[in-house]
Chain A
Amino acid sequence: MTEIQPASGVADMGGDSGWGQAPIIDPDEAVFPEKWEGRAFALALLSMRLSGSNLDAFRHAMNRLDREHYIDDGYYGRWLYGAENLLLDSAIIAPGAVEARAANIAGGDVDEPPAPESTKPDYAPTAAGSIRQIDAPRKFTVGQRVRAKTMNAPGHTRLQKYTQGHIGTVTIAEPAQVLPDTHAHFIAENAQWVYTVSFDSRELFQENAENFTLNTDLYEDYLEAAS
Chain B
Amino acid sequence: MNNAQSSSDRIPINLRTEALEQLLVERGLVDPQVMDTFIKTYEKDVGPLNGAQVVAKAWTDPEFKQRLLDDGTGAVAELGFKGPQGEHLVVVENSSAVHNVVVCTLCSCYPWPLLGLPPAWYKDPAYRSRVVREPRTVLNEMGLELPKDTEITVWDSSSEVRFFVLPQRPSDTEKFSEAELAALVTRDAMVGVAQVSA
Partners in one complex: yes
Q: Looking at chain B's contact residues, is the secondary structure mostly helix, strand, loop, or mixed? A: mixed
CB atoms of B87 and A62 under 8 A apart: no
| Chain A residue nearest to B137 in the complex (CB) | A210
Q: Looking at chain A's contact residues, is the secondary structure mostly helix, strand, loop, or mixed? A: mixed
CB atoms of A45 and B38 under 8 A apart: yes
Q: Point out the residue from A14, A33, A46, A77 that lies within 8 Å of B106, measured CB to CB.
A: A14
**Residue numbers in A under 8 Å from B157 (CB-CB):** 216-217
| Chain A residue nearest to B153 in the complex (CB) | A213
**Residue numbers in A under 8 Å from B135 (CB-CB):** 210, 212
Indicate whether B129 reaches chain A with its CB closer than 8 angstroms.
yes
Q: How far is the CA of A113 from the CA of B97 in the complex (A)?
A: 62
Indicate whether B127 reaches chain A with its CB closer than 8 angstroms.
yes
Indicate whether B93 reaches chain A with its CB closer than 8 angstroms.
no
Indicate whether B197 reaches chain A with its CB closer than 8 angstroms.
no
Q: How far is the CA of A130 from the CA of B133 in the complex (A)?
A: 29
User: Given that A27-B186, A27-B188, A194-B159 are contacting pairs, would A36 and B13 also be in contact in the complex, using a CB cutoff of 8 Å?
Assistant: yes
Indicate whether B113 reaches chain A with its CB closer than 8 angstroms.
no
CB atoms of B42 and A17 under 8 A apart: no
Q: How far is the CA of A192 from the CA of B110 in the complex (A)?
A: 22
| Chain B residue nearest to A212 in the complex (CB) | B152
Q: Kindly count the residue-residue contacts between A and B in the assembled complex, taking CB atoms under 8 Å apart.
A: 262
Indicate whether A184 reaches chain B with its CB closer than 8 angstroms.
no
Count chain A residues whose beta carbon lies closer than 8 angstroms to a beta carbon of B: 97
Q: Point out the residue from B10, B23, B130 that lies within 8 Å of A97, measured CB to CB.
A: B23
Q: How far is the CA of A106 from the CA of B184 in the complex (A)?
A: 47
Indicate whether A187 reaches chain B with its CB closer than 8 angstroms.
no
Q: How far is the CA of A62 from the CA of B106 in the complex (A)?
A: 11
Binding site for A on B (CB under 8 A): 1-5, 7, 10-11, 13-24, 27, 29-30, 34-36, 38-39, 42-43, 47, 87-88, 90, 103, 105-108, 116-121, 123-138, 141-143, 151-161, 186-188, 193-194
20 A-B contact pairs sorted by A residue (CB < 8 Å): A14-B129, A15-B133, A19-B130, A22-B124, A22-B131, A22-B138, A23-B126, A24-B121, A29-B120, A39-B35, A43-B20, A46-B35, A98-B19, A98-B20, A160-B158, A201-B133, A209-B134, A212-B154, A214-B154, A216-B155
Binding site for B on A (CB under 8 A): 5, 8, 11-27, 29-36, 38-43, 45-47, 50, 59, 62-66, 68-69, 71-75, 77, 80-85, 87-88, 92-93, 97-99, 101-103, 105-106, 115, 129-131, 158-160, 162, 172, 174-175, 177, 180, 194, 196, 201, 204-205, 209-210, 212-219
